[in-house]
Structure 1
Amino acid sequence: MKFKQPWLYALTTLLSLSAQAQSDERSGTVEIRAKAENLMGTASASSEGLVSAGRIAALPILRPGEVLEMVPGLIVTQHAGDGKANQYFLRGFNLDHGTDFATTVNGVPVNMPTHAHGQGYTDLNFLIPELVEQIAYKKGPYSASEGDFSAAGAARIDYLQRMQGHLADITGGAHGYRRILLAGSPQSLNGQVLYGLEIFRNDGPWVVPENYQKYNGVLSYSDGTRTNGFNITGMVYKSRWTSTDQIPLRAVNQGSLDRFGSLDPSTGGETHRYSLSSQWTQTTLDRQAKAKVWALQSALDLWSNFEYCMSSIQATGNCAASDQFKQAEQRKALGFGFSEARYNALNWGQNTYDTAMTWGLDGRTDRISPIGLYKTTQRKLTDTVREDRVIQNSIALWTQHETRWTSQFRSIVGARADFYQFDVQSNIAVNSGHAKDRQLSPKLNLIYTPQSNFEVYANYGTGFHSNDARGTTITVDPTDKTTAVTKVDPLVKAIGSELGFRTELVPGWHSSLALWKLNMASELLFIGDAGTTEPSAPSKRYGLEWNNFYALSSTSSLDFDVAWAHARFVNAQGPSSYIPGAVSATANIGLSVDNMGPWFGSIRFRYFGPRPLTEDGGIKSGATSLMNLRAGYKLSPQSKLSIDVYNLLNQKANDIEYAYASQLAQEASPVMDRHIHPIEPRMLRVTLTHRFQ
């Protein structure tokens, strides 16, 4: 039997359609956009998907990280200043700032292990949405190519290799919002060049102006295509801001604090991120090889105050010092990846089966020196809680074998082996030390295609997230240095399974359904705000997701997804089994139109369901419903004017809610209360876009 190499054809077809979708998006062709996102015959799970540039371009985006809300079921919020990483929610997880959801941009990991603020910290403020070509996402621990932080899911964001000509965007809006973007591809005899330069400033609706300033740039050179070629990309990002953190609801209700006010006007941050990366791909008739290398240098200084006066009153009897603290780090990281796929035919008895054998090697090293937690007052250092120097190394070997047993049935069997080393040198000698761990993660995916427009999936796999290196060697609480604390497991295992289907029974309507389950050996343990560890129980989650994209016509499309999840601690008794922040229901609905004469636009509705805020479930957050609108007019073939309206219905709701004890200056003792960060009121932004050669 002659080998037909279906995976190679499917892969190249998918990539070419994706590129075509980007090109056709410029003329608003929704039909091609839908075809590019149809993964029938190539996906390994119903929860796997692809978001094209056309859909991203139609979004009214408040913050860059919100492009990830095109991953069905994923909610992106903010609980502090906009320069800080977003807060993410998916599949019954409060992912904090990125734990358990792995994100890469142009092959460079965004999640930061052993981060000063939060494990897996995912700051996407450097992202330029206009340059995104596609987002390829997966959910669950079923893919051997995905490692740390991917238990709930993963997203790979790719930039364009080239634009048609040049693009200039000028945006102005309420509360001092200003943004200038210049991007494009100059003519080049050899290869393809892409550049982007963004200058940004915003005060926001806050009583204390945010004064968020951002400078952002990208420059890349590509030769060949994504399937046969290479690229080199450099990125530079720097920002600073004043933060209005979450505030106690009691102060708002009493009238002593404005809903958009602050109890500490000196909180905020400064950060930068510089990266250089290269990716290479070679494809032949029976082989595809990929390689990447990357280097990153980043730093963060973050001043926060969530309890206001509680610790300072307990220590001194007054609030002169407040409870402000600083988390800071300086990081250098290097990484690489290599994979090879071999397409062949397996002879077994009288039968011959088409196969794809893939293996890969990934490595990463992080040098974080120093990484610290400090007590501060109005950003002035008053005491060092802990300061460490960390070296963290990891390497992984993975493989998967895909076999097409019949024209209707195929399987993907894989495994991943990860090895980690941690070296911590602390200013508290007894908290220094070395640790290491390893994790073997088997994977199994079964795919049945009874007809060309219907596919059924069964998936099983194990995955993990790493814990903060400081938690793997800690022995005493860094605050009092007399209280013993428990070390964390370096790697926390996750076990997931899923049943689902994908269909296109109605032409142009792509629909998928997934019933999933995920067990975690423990929730995240290291508490960066305190510099210590906290006991945590194993957890279990299960849920249902229904995702849809419908090309209504060549000029309009409708997408909608709904998700429900149940999340509990497994060894807790009675009413203490709720997982704080675990969202149970989400929905996202969007309608986009283009090429309706000179008019174009989109409207999106997002529902963020209630969450338990305490382990007994006694305090729950409210639900948040948000609607955003984009309307635009093409002034000429080269120019267009668009208006974005955020929070169209001017809802008075919250981006985030927490429940914990805090103490104000005038209070005699701590008070258990809700702490909120409100969504911005209705805001309008106007953008003038011009394209030129």
Structure 2
Amino acid sequence: MRSIYLLVTFFWGINSMAQNKKVIILDIDSKTPIQSAIMQSQSGNVTLLADENGLILLNNDIQKNYYVTISCVGYKAETLLLSKLNFTDARATVYLQKSVSSLKDVVVSSSSKTGLFKTISDLDIHLRPINNSQEVLRMVPGLFIGQHAGGGKAEQIFLRGFDIDHGTDINISVDGMPVNMVSHSHGQGYADLHFLIPELIQKVNFNKGPYFADKGNFTTAGYVEFRTKDYLTNSFAKIEAGQFNTARVVTGINLLKAKADGKNQSLYIAGEGSYTKGFFASPQDFSRVNGIIKYRTNLNNQNTLTATATAFSSKWNASGQIPDRVVDAGTIGFFGAIDPNEGGNTSRYNVNFELLSYLNDGGTIRNQLFYSKYNFELYSNFTFFKEDPINGDQIRQKENRNIFGYNSIYHKEYYIGKYKTETNAGVQIRYDDVNDIELTRTKNRTIDLSPLMMGDVTELNVGSFYSQRISLTKKMDITGAVRVDYFTNKYNDKLSSNKLSSNSAILSPKLNFNYKVNNNVKLYLYNGRGFHSNDTRVAVQQNGKKVLPPAYGSDLGGIFKIGDKMFLQTAFWYLWLDQEFVYVGDEGVVEAGGQTRRYGIDVSVRYELARNLYADIDLNFTNPRSIGVPATENYIPLAPRITSIGGITYRKLTGWNGSLRYRYMADRPANESNSVIAKGYFVTDAAVNFSKKKWEAGFSIQNLFNVKWKETQFDTESQLQTETSPVSEIHFTPGTPFYARLNYTVYF
């Protein structure tokens, strides 16, 4: 019955208006809602968070004679007496003025919803050198990415001692839609973010570990969720040009004007087109086209509907990974290629409907329906002439996919006796229909030699969760949660005419503690079980492999405000996995890697050096090991051990802005015995902008000091056409050389 009620709610929006008083927080210039604004009493005992409509629901903790401070990153804080607000129809409006925030205004809260580093503002995003939305992932402390097959392929991801490949152990979403592709032709969890236009990113929420009940498959190392802008403050047009025949054009246009404060409805369209020849000896010729149309309307005081449609298409050539021996011998250059016919094309089309409803019990319910149409074709050559000394080892990985999904999440804050509590519960359904998923040996992209795998995949994942947070005191809260996931996997093998299927389920409990020692110190202990699913083509066979291997983790950490101008966040963490997978791309199999454990320390520091001048540094130390194997063979290939990102940023609303940033990854093992080393790197990026109300100009430089570095590396056994036997050694994709780009934006 509950499911029927949720569906009726979505299509008809018939919920009654909540009787609680609400405060709506708006930008004073654009009159648009300010998401994630915080209302805090002067004593610090009450902290309330605004939703996506800028609404703060006043609960029993708030008294009319309270002085409260309303703040948000990027805005000047306002302190006011609650009884002085003018409530009309149980609503009052507060306006905030944009400003560059000082760290002295940032508050430490006991709430688990307002973590200091969980939200990144769009001000941070446009200051840093970014080629595409995938690179926004680099803003997550400790997360690294690497490209190894042309600009159009999803990047390799590293986080918390994981070589995540393209997304096996990190959950990525955009506006509630999953980015990770289950049972993908190139690798489990493949997460391609290139359909997202960077200029339209409103915020990036992230966290680490398997501690969050609303995050399901792939949430072992952590999650990243992007939210796109609901409103465009101004229409804009942007042009970029740079080295290596690079050009990019982006535009966003408001199609409706606000009818009243709060933007009762908004409609905008945006598009992006980009091209680069690339810095490789063999031209990359990477091109991408993106488009989006987004409509948002307040149907009434009870319901807000958001509808989004996006389109994305790209194609590229790639130089792949080249072996050290050919570069050392001078056969090809550092940016050369063995097989210049690698590359591919991909496209994705999304339709997304979200309905946020305020219920008469004081809670909210969010219902979402989405659909994605996805195509993928990739040509690779990892081993050159090892398997076929005449035609070579090029392969094609291809698929045609439809994704259908439904999410429903209920949220309510209330009291049980004298204890403040919060309930979150939800249902998440995802169905993937993948047609003609294949792995085929090819030559020069044109000649099909022999199919290795060919079939159809269907995969259904039904998940539900329940989370209860209770504040035992004004300083301490405990959150207990449980999640249940059920999978149905089916594979129609067209080469053997076998139709295989399997069913599996997993229970994932969580238990988190937050304790606010005082206004400057918050401590937390998070514990939880998560999982990542196996590829359907392996899950239906099993053969000793676990279909849904669990992960168990714990984080013990704290957030510390040191003086008025410094914040420190640190965590000691541990993560144990029941089984990891190694994807062998040219063979189309997933190998079971056995049990593993990782532990480490994360440290993040933010410091305000002077007015408008900020410094930040993130340090991550990890010890990743396999379990149940000799100590001389228990290294996890390519797992990062020491990483760091940081820099200095000068930020103003108008005038000069800039940043100087670095990223560092230390040497790490490339094989289980640590006898082959993947070399580390230290790369510096810079950006400078000059902003006015109607325009902005700037330039960015990647690899400012033009260091020679290897972006991705693999210990691979390959054989050249001139060789009589295969050789195992480091194969790499070179990192970006000095790369300068100019940009100019006009607002209208």
Q: Structures share a fold, TM > 0.5?
A: yes
Query: Is contact 2:423-2:468 (8 Å) kept?
Result: yes
Q: Deviations over 1:522-549 (max 9, x none)?
A: 1115534312232321000001001122
Equivalent residue for 2:310, pick from 229, 235, 239: 235
Residue 651 (str. 1) matches residue 712 (str. 2): no
2:142 partner SS = coil
Residue 255 (str. 1) matches residue 322 (str. 2): no
TM-score, reference length from structure 2: 0.85
Residue 288 (str. 1) matches residue 364 (str. 2): yes
2:592 partner SS = coil
Residue 72 (str. 1) matches residue 138 (str. 2): no
2:742 matched residue in structure 1:
686
Quote the Cα distance in structure 1 between the aligned partners of 2:306 and 2:653: 37
> Is 582-591 or 221-230 further displaced after alignment?
221-230
Structure 1 stretches of 5 or more lacking a match?
Answer: 314-319, 476-485
Quote the Cα distance in structure 2 between the aligned partners of 1:561 and 1:343: 34
Query: Is contact 2:132-2:197 (8 Å) kept?
Result: no
Residue 611 (str. 1) matches residue 668 (str. 2): yes
Amino acid of the residue matched to residue 292 of structure 1?
Q
Is the alpha carbon distance of 1:522 and 1:11 closer, same or farther for their aligned partners in structure 2, counting shifts above 3 Å? same
Q: Deviations over 1:361-420 (max 9, x none)?
A: 111000000101000000121111110101100101100111101111110000000000
1:534 partner SS = strand
Q: Deviations over 1:23-53 (max 9, x none)?
A: 88x99833179967x6633226979611111
Matches within 5 A, 1:124-139: 124-139=193-208
1:638 CA displacement: 1.3
2:631 partner SS = coil
2:50 partner SS = helix
Equivalent residue for 2:268, pick from 174, 182, 194: 194
Residue 30 (str. 1) matches residue 100 (str. 2): yes
Equivalent residue for 1:266, pick from 338, 341, 362: 341
1:504 matched residue in structure 2:
561
Is the alpha carbon distance of 1:27 and 1:44 closer, same or farther for their aligned partners in structure 2, counting shifts above 3 Å? closer
1:278 partner SS = strand
2:59 matched residue in structure 1:
none
1:478 matched residue in structure 2:
none
Q: Deviations over 1:425-450 (max 9, x none)?
A: 00233764111110000000011111
Quote the Cα distance in structure 2 between the aligned partners of 1:402 and 1:92: 30
2:341 partner SS = coil
1:411 matched residue in structure 2:
478
Q: Deviations over 1:497-524 (max 9, x none)?
A: 1100012232243321111000001111
2:462 matched residue in structure 1:
395
Q: Deviations over 1:602-636 (max 9, x none)?
A: 111111122210001111111111101111234x5
Residue 220 (str. 1) matches residue 294 (str. 2): yes
1:435 matched residue in structure 2:
502
Matches within 5 A, 1:37-48: 40-43=109-112
Quote the Cα distance in structure 1 between the aligned partners of 2:196 and 2:567: 28
2:86 matched residue in structure 1:
none
Quote the Cα distance in structure 1 between the aligned partners of 2:563 and 2:538: 52
2:430 matched residue in structure 1:
364
Amino acid of the residue matched to residue 402 of structure 1?
R
Residue 464 (str. 1) matches residue 531 (str. 2): yes
Quote the Cα distance in structure 1 between the aligned partners of 2:216 and 2:105: 29
2:415 matched residue in structure 1:
345
Query: Is contact 1:31-1:554 (8 Å) kept?
Result: no
Quote the Cα distance in structure 2 between the aligned partners of 1:553 and 1:231: 41
Query: Is contact 1:29-1:554 (8 Å) kept?
Result: no
Residue 120 (str. 1) matches residue 185 (str. 2): no
Quote the Cα distance in structure 2 between the aligned partners of 1:429 and 1:489: 24
Structural RMSD (CA): 2.6
1:20 CA displacement: 5.7
Quote the Cα distance in structure 1 between the aligned partners of 2:148 and 2:676: 18
Amino acid of the residue matched to residue 296 of structure 1?
S
Q: Larger relative CO (CA 8 A, sep 6+): 1 or 2?
A: 1
Quote the Cα distance in structure 2 between the aligned partners of 1:66 and 1:426: 37
2:730 matched residue in structure 1:
674
1:66 partner SS = helix
Amino acid of the residue matched to residue 650 of structure 2?
V
1:415 partner SS = strand
Equivalent residue for 2:354, pick from 279, 284, 297: 279
Quote the Cα distance in structure 2 between the aligned partners of 1:584 and 1:239: 34
1:218 partner SS = strand
Structure 2 stretches of 5 or more lacking a match?
Answer: 1-19, 23-38, 41-45, 56-69, 77-95
Q: Deviations over 1:528-577 (max 9, x none)?
A: 43122323210000010011223445523222211111100011113110
1:12 matched residue in structure 2:
50
Quote the Cα distance in structure 2 between the aligned partners of 1:21 and 1:278: 28
Query: Is contact 1:432-1:474 (8 Å) kept?
Result: no
Quote the Cα distance in structure 1 between the aligned partners of 2:587 and 2:115: 40
Quote the Cα distance in structure 2 between the aligned partners of 1:671 and 1:651: 28
Quote the Cα distance in structure 2 between the aligned partners of 1:501 and 1:157: 25
Equivalent residue for 1:301, pick from 367, 377, 387: 377
Query: Is contact 1:365-1:393 (8 Å) kept?
Result: yes
Q: Deviations over 1:312-366 (max 9, x none)?
A: 12xxxxxx3110000001000011111112322213xxxx211112211111000
1:651 partner SS = coil
TM-score, reference length from structure 1: 0.92
Residue 517 (str. 1) matches residue 574 (str. 2): yes
2:282 matched residue in structure 1:
208
> Is 542-551 or 677-686 further displaced after alignment?
542-551
Query: Is contact 1:30-1:553 (8 Å) kept?
Result: no
Amino acid of the residue matched to residue 101 of structure 2?
E
1:54 partner SS = helix
1:480 matched residue in structure 2:
none
Quote the Cα distance in structure 1 between the aligned partners of 2:202 and 2:642: 29
Residue 376 (str. 1) matches residue 376 (str. 2): no
Is the alpha carbon distance of 1:42 and 1:324 closer, same or farther for their aligned partners in structure 2, counting shifts above 3 Å? same
Query: Is contact 1:267-1:305 (8 Å) kept?
Result: yes
| Identity across the alignment (%) | 28
Query: Is contact 1:644-1:685 (8 Å) kept?
Result: yes
2:593 partner SS = coil
Is the alpha carbon distance of 1:502 and 1:678 closer, same or farther for their aligned partners in structure 2, counting shifts above 3 Å? same
1:593 CA displacement: 1.2
Quote the Cα distance in structure 2 between the aligned partners of 1:14 and 1:54: 18
1:591 CA displacement: 1.6
Quote the Cα distance in structure 2 between the aligned partners of 1:60 and 1:172: 13
Is the alpha carbon distance of 1:4 and 1:595 closer, same or farther for their aligned partners in structure 2, counting shifts above 3 Å? closer
Residue 245 (str. 1) matches residue 341 (str. 2): no
2:678 partner SS = coil
1:186 CA displacement: 2.8
1:22 CA displacement: 6.2
* Alignment size in residue pairs: 668
Q: Deviations over 1:232-254 (max 9, x none)?
A: 11110001000110100100000
1:671 CA displacement: 0.6
1:470 partner SS = helix
Query: Is contact 1:21-1:33 (8 Å) kept?
Result: no
Matches within 5 A, 1:528-547: 528-547=585-604
Equivalent residue for 1:157, pick from 226, 236, 247: 226
Quote the Cα distance in structure 2 between the aligned partners of 1:186 and 1:559: 39
Query: Is contact 1:612-1:621 (8 Å) kept?
Result: yes
Is the alpha carbon distance of 1:22 and 1:382 closer, same or farther for their aligned partners in structure 2, counting shifts above 3 Å? farther
Amino acid of the residue matched to residue 538 of structure 2?
G
